[in-house]
Amino acid sequence: MKSPSENNPTHHTQKIKVQMRQLIDHLREDVGKVTDPKAQALFETSAEVATGLVKAFDDYEKKREEAWRTEPMASRSKERTTNVSRR
């Protein structure tokens, strides 16, 4: 049987954020270890993208974005989901 924390998405988002922050630190450290400008740019860009992902996880946890505040599709009224045009 799963523990209550395993069913809690925040438990998972927090663990993933820790791993992403470790990756960000590693990427930024490696920028200073390599001399190839293209590799440096790749590592720095990757660190920036991962930083954006950490922010997205934070926004999810704090329900700061509209996408994270809406109700799930299953709980929306039929009227809202059946009025979608079909092709």
What are the tens digits of pLDDT across the range 12-63?
A: 999 999 999 999 999 999 999 999 999 999 999 999 999 999 999 999 998 8
pTM: 0.71
- Residue 36 has a pLDDT of 97
Segment 61-66 long-range contacts (CB within 8 Å, at least 24 positions apart): 61/10, 61/13, 61/14
Read off the pLDDT of residues 54-86 as tens digits, 9 standing for 90 and up: 999 999 998 887 777 776 655 555 545 555 555
CB of 60 within 8 A of CB of 68? yes
